Structure 1
Amino acid sequence: MTDQAEQLREIMRSKNGAGNQKTRIIAVASGKGGVGKTNLSINIALAYARLGKKVIVMDADLGLANVNVVLGIIPKYNLYHLIRKQKNLQEILLDTNYGIQIIAGASGFSKIANLSDEEREHFIEELSGLSEADVIVIDTSAGVSHNVLDFIAAADEALIVTTPEPTAITDAYGIIKIIATEIDNMNLGLKLIVNRVKSVTEGKKVSERVISIAGQFLNLKVDYLGYVYDDPVVSSSVLKQKPFMVVDPNSKAAICVKHIVGRLEKVEYREGSGIGNFIRKLLGKD
């Protein structure tokens, strides 16, 4: 685990008081781009919101922010303005028409590690204000940068998104391998989602392949969280810049996401460790 993840974990734990509600932190990652990670992050957040949860989606891609694009929102301020002390958290936290809030990504930052001590302290102090949320979904950047690993290490659980394409499967195993080797004392829940499947059988075969290899060669337990159908509503919703859960709540893809969130809540459910714990781990203090 990097020093930044350790520091963030410690500070987040210290910011979360004993009597505060625990915020559940879910990091969504993928080994490669183009597998639908951002779209799934948003729609998972919407499914949580429909359960009555207060949900925030944080775009943690510090290079190419996409969450606001998928939602058709043009943010005036983002994480860049927060880190540079030009705006506070409440000023960059955006309400949407869908019952969730978002924090737009800070395009132009390559690494949290590049922040000065003063910038990092301010960043952490502001993030601690997210502790009122029930769930925070972190849409990480694609690939295996230190930023991605820091957010995964600091989260309560990580959802790895892949598709049935051979390159996507290989890259999914790749990021799982790096998580296993780079994150020490890992106790987060690691779960796999297979996106754009044509059948239940296809999703199961892909998951069994990845999970089997991870168990055999990495001695790492990865849970199969579920699949999402290759549904035409997804591409049409992207063009409309609206979540497919909104465009057609009864579509195959939407129903799949509802099942995924249902499993997150009911199967091996773990109470979130809180925003304070997340910050501690992200900055490497645990």
Structure 2
Amino acid sequence: MGDQADGLRLLMKEIHKTTGDAVEKEKTRIIAVTSGKGGVGKTNIATNMGIAYAQMGKKVIVMDADLGLANVNVILNIIPQYNLYHVIKKQKKMSEIIIDTQYGIKMIVGASGFSKIANMGDTERDEFIKEMYTLSDVDIIIIDTSAGVSKNVLSFVAAADEVAVITTSEPTAITDAYGIIKVIATEVDNIDLNLKLIVNRVDSAVEAKRVADRMIDIAGQFLNLKIEYLGFIYNDQAVKQAVLKQKPFIVMDPSGKASICLKHIVARLEKTEIPVDGGFTGFIKKLFGRT
């Protein structure tokens, strides 16, 4: 894994520098959202997380790095004309494929063939780095990786400042989530890697906490790895309705269970608080405060 991960990490860290001199700019924060298997809601969480950050006043880009199954644009009901493959093939500039959305975030679409990013030669990498400079004026880049443990996924994980692993309470999802955590621990050479855990589609906070505690304990015991539990997202019918309508759930139902949970997760990432009121928001805050 070494050379490819190191190469992409260097590529992504170049985002944090200026092109004209040696002065370091304020760092752009890179968050990779990944999972051990498909179907756990990873892309939905990554997209809505980006919108939650935008609602906090952050400049956000959501980059769809899913191999051959790019679908952030589907959730947002956007049909892109170009994607990252066109940038890698030098057919387009990065600035020409960035899409503004009505939700306050910018989007970069991945596509089939995107895995070539992990195998670029030195010249191709240098050219791509120049294009990545156009992202240096944003606060947050959220990378929605493909599911599983491909070299491409591990490269983005290695490049990120923080990695959010998504699972559900289903046994197969838990097993696969632990699997990707184990691969990350053994194959990604990044001492600053910050692994987080989000448990999606649960019916109770107790259910989510049980899953999180189990994974955290096993990772600590067998991998000597510390994982932070960010929180959970309730199994909310509003999420399913939002997907069918191709509209972000945090916009369609901002006061819904899933939306409030996600806002608290982002608040934890930012080490801040969201306003507390009576009712469900206050209830969720108390639940998160005990986890």
TM-score by length of 1: 0.90
- Residues 100 and 185 (structure 1), Cα distance of their counterparts in 2 relative to 1, 3 Å cut: closer
Unaligned runs of 5+ in 2: 273-291
Which whole-Å deviations, capped at 9, do the CAs of 1:91-130 have from their partners, x for residues lacking one? 0000000000000012233342333443332222211221
Kindly report which structure 2 residues correspond to 1:1-286, keeping only aligned pairs within 5 A, or say none.
1-14=1-14, 16-17=17-18, 18-266=23-271
Q: Does the Cα contact within 8 Å between 1:2 and 1:150 map onto a contact in 2?
A: no
CA–CA distance in 1 between the matches of 2:75 and 2:163? 21
Q: Distance in 2 between matches of 1:13 and 1:39?
A: 26
What is the identity, as a one-letter code, of the residue corresponding to 1:8?
Answer: L
Percent identity over the alignment is 66
CA distance in 1, matches of 2:129, 2:111: 15
Q: Which one has the largest radius of gyration?
A: 2
What is the distance in 2 between the residues matched to 1:126 and 1:193? 32
8 Å CA contact 1:153–1:186 kept in 2: the answer is no
Deviation at 1:8, TM superposition (A): 2.8
- Partners of 2:51 and 2:144 lie apart in 1 by 14
For 1:169, the aligned partner's letter is I
Mapped contact 2:11–2:125 kept (Cα < 8 A): no
How far is 1:12 from its partner? 4.1
Q: Which amino acid aligns with 1:208?
A: D
Secondary structure at the counterpart of residue 132 of structure 1: coil
Q: What do the CA deviations read for 1:60-103 (whole angstroms, capped 9, x no partner)?
A: 11321111111110001100111111110110000000000000
Offset at residue 11 of structure 1 (A): 4.1
The letter of the residue matching 1:237 is A
> Match for 1:245: what amino acid?
I
Letter of the structure 1 residue corresponding to residue 221 of structure 2? Q
Contact 1:196 1:231 in 2 (8 A): yes
Quote the offset at 1:179 in angstroms. Answer: 0.4
Contact 1:191 1:223 in 2 (8 A): yes
Q: Judging changes above 3 Å, is the alpha-carbon distance between structure 1 residues 131 and 49 closer, same or farther for their aligned structure 2 residues?
A: same
**Of 97-106 and 122-131, the range deviating more from structure 2:** 122-131
Runs of 4+ in 1 over 6 A off after TM superposition: none
Three-state SS of the structure 1 residue aligned to 2:114 is coil
C-alpha displacement of 1:265? 0.5
| Equivalent pair of 2:197/2:227 in contact (CA under 8 Å) | yes
Answer yes or no: is the 8 Å Cα contact 1:162–1:193 preserved in 2: yes
Say if 1:202 and 1:145 are closer, same or farther in 2 by CA, change over 3 A: same
Range moving further from structure 2, 123-132 or 204-213? 123-132
Q: TM-score, normalised by structure 2?
A: 0.88
What do the CA deviations read for 1:220-257 (whole angstroms, capped 9, x no partner)?
Answer: 00010000000001111000011000110000000000
C-alpha spacing 1:89/1:65, structure 2 compared with 1 (3 Å): same
* Cα contact 1:12–1:128 (8 A) shared by 2: no
Contact 1:8 1:124 in 2 (8 A): no
Higher relative contact order (CA 8 A, sep 6+): 1
Give the AA of the match of 1:10: L
CA distance in structure 2 between the aligned counterparts of 1:43 and 1:185, rounded to whole angstroms: 27
Tell me if the contact between 2:167 and 2:177 (Cα under 8 Å) persists in the aligned partners. Answer: yes
